[in-house]
Chain A
Amino acid sequence: MSVQVVVPSALRSEVDGASRVSVESAGSLRAVLDEVERRWPRLGRRIRDEQGELRRFVNVYVNGEDCRSLEGQETPVTDGAEVQVIPSVAGGSDIDGDAILADNFAPWVKDLGLTVEEMGADFATLRLPWSDRLAREGGAMSGQAMMAAADTATVIAISSARGGFCPMTTVQLSTTFQRPVLGKDVLVTARLTKLGRTLAFADITLTCEGAVVAHATTVYALM
């Protein structure tokens, strides 16, 4: 008896980034969520509180139907069913930034290992993980890597703002480097200062442990 549980992007860090997990349990939704909680306690407690109640602004769909309009956690779940966990609508974006990263960039950019930390109506935050391969002479992270990350973060921010990826190209990228980065991840937040019909402008702040390490501005042409 196996059920597919679809995990919202905000909770995927609890299941090693997976967008869906397979659970060997069925019968009722409660049994499925009990099994989710047993295997991934942190995921479980974000879906239900300590009394086992579904959190008020988490919606759970069984084969496409909101369990609250069915029998709640007593809703029958049969073998092969799909259980979708969806945060109720409250802004944000439901597009998958990591998928855009995987599908639209040159292999060497993918090799940077960028991941999307957060996306919003006009911004995206990417994590540029430390790697010794990114170190230049002297041991600090190379500026080229940070510029590529800033450039890439702009694409994700524009995609987030537009509700999906579209072809685009960099017109201008200007970067100032303010502090060296040694052995630590960098968070790259691109915030759109203007999104026009054919041009987008972004301001990118790169931070390491809360301190600004570099700052960039970009202009993009939207195709």
Chain B
Amino acid sequence: MIGTAKGLFLARRERVGDAWQVSVPHFPMTSVYAVGIDTRGATPRLLAGVESSHFGPSVAISDDLGASWREPEQAPIAFPKETGESLKQVWALQPGPAGEPSVVWAGSQPSALFKSTNGGVTYELVRSLWDHPHRPEWGAGFGGQAIHTILPHPEDPQRLLVAMSTGGVYRTTDGGQTWTASNTGIKAYFLPGNQYPEFGQCVHKVSRDAVNPDRLYLQNHHGVYRSDDDGRSWQSIADGLPSDFGFPMVAHPRQADTAWNFPLVADGNRYPVENKCQVFKTTDAGKTWQAQSYGLPAAPFYSAVLRDALCVDDADPVGVYFGARTGEVFASADEGESWALVASHLPSVACVRAAQI
């Protein structure tokens, strides 16, 4: 699934080595900022957060790989009347853990968490986080104020981590009754005064280690961090990277200590480091990082990869995918060792998700 500024594209191939078949746009002329593939059921379900500049945001689902889409009569995600808020955009669609097959989480702009218990058809606001006393102080990043990351715990449904820009990381360990800001060690360089506040960080993305669920990898607005205690505290793992700025961060779905990101030079210089199209991978939980660029464009590359535009599938070996704001999508079928183009000249890519079905 390739979500872009002007519609959703679906790319598929029967097997590695075949050419990719790229669809015409679904939901043409809408921005598709969040997509999800829920593979927990008997048939995979596609989820798409679409936003029409005219007719507003919605969530559509497909149980036939995009041949048809459906939406409920009532708005799938809506703020209750008394909040006085209205949904601007869906930023995250995250299927819950395997043990809760009908749970799907959604993150929104303005910053709020929604929970679906019917497989992502309709959602309800999680009031406990909405009513958090910090909320009036959560800020807006350049892209708007939103919850963009939702990480269920694979074994413990009582535990959930969310991240927002700006605001930072919040965790619950009691099924969402209470939420705790969890940013110890993460720097907010842009603040005057205290640069290590309890909350207010501009976290860009967090990903959870597949083998050790207490281990998390985090790309910050400057700063790359790891937590070994389910987000209670964070240590820098930026030293092995050419830059500590960037947006995405994706952990390997099965292998411990392994993750990918796509560094950019700096906040004020949002180009790939050395203008090279390259992904960085760690296999030692962030101590060292290796560039991966075989098969990627050798010409100077000036495009950025957004926070949800880097993903992995669940194949063996793992496929890695990323899309650029200039409309290219690249795939690696060998964990980043070599790359090939999936599609080019698409509208600006906001998000990609992939699965082996």
**B55 A87 Cβ-Cβ under 8 A:** yes
- Report the nearest A residue to B71, measured CB to CB: A42
Within 8 A of B (CB), among A118-165: 118, 120, 125
- Report the nearest B residue to A49, measured CB to CB: B86
A187 nearest CB across to chain B (Å): 6
What class of interface size applies to chain B in its complex with A?
20 to 34
Known contacts A51-B79, A207-B23; 13 additional CB pairs below 8 A are A45-B56, A46-B55, A47-B55, A49-B87, A50-B79, A87-B54, A88-B54, A90-B53, A125-B24, A125-B28, A187-B24, A189-B24, A210-B21
**At the interface, yes or no: B211 with Cβ under 8 Å from chain A?**
no
User: Which residues on A are within 8 Å of B, measured CB to CB?
Assistant: 10-11, 41-42, 45-47, 49-51, 53, 55, 57-58, 87-88, 90, 92, 118, 120, 125, 184-185, 187, 189, 205, 207, 209-212
Q: Give Cα A184 to B64, complex, Å.
A: 12
From B10, B24, B52, B58, residue with most partner A Cβ within 10 Å? B24
Q: Give Cα A212 to B11, complex, Å.
A: 11
Q: Give Cα A53 to B56, complex, Å.
A: 11
A212-B54 CB under 8 A given contacts A42-B73, A50-B87, A51-B79? no
Q: Give Cα A92 to B54, complex, Å.
A: 12
20 contacts between A and B (CB under 8 A): A10-B55, A42-B71, A45-B75, A46-B54, A50-B81, A53-B86, A55-B54, A57-B53, A57-B54, A88-B54, A118-B28, A125-B24, A125-B28, A185-B67, A207-B23, A209-B65, A210-B10, A210-B22, A210-B24, A210-B67
* CB-based A-B contact count at 8 angstroms: 74
A51-B81 CB under 8 A given contacts A57-B54, A87-B55? yes
**A210 B12 Cβ-Cβ under 8 A:** yes
**B84 A51 Cβ-Cβ under 8 A:** yes
Report A-chain residues with C-beta under 8 Å of the C-beta of B29. 92
**B55 A211 Cβ-Cβ under 8 A:** no
Residue of B11, B52, B66, B86 near A51 (CB, 8 A) is B86
Q: Give Cα A118 to B30, complex, Å.
A: 13
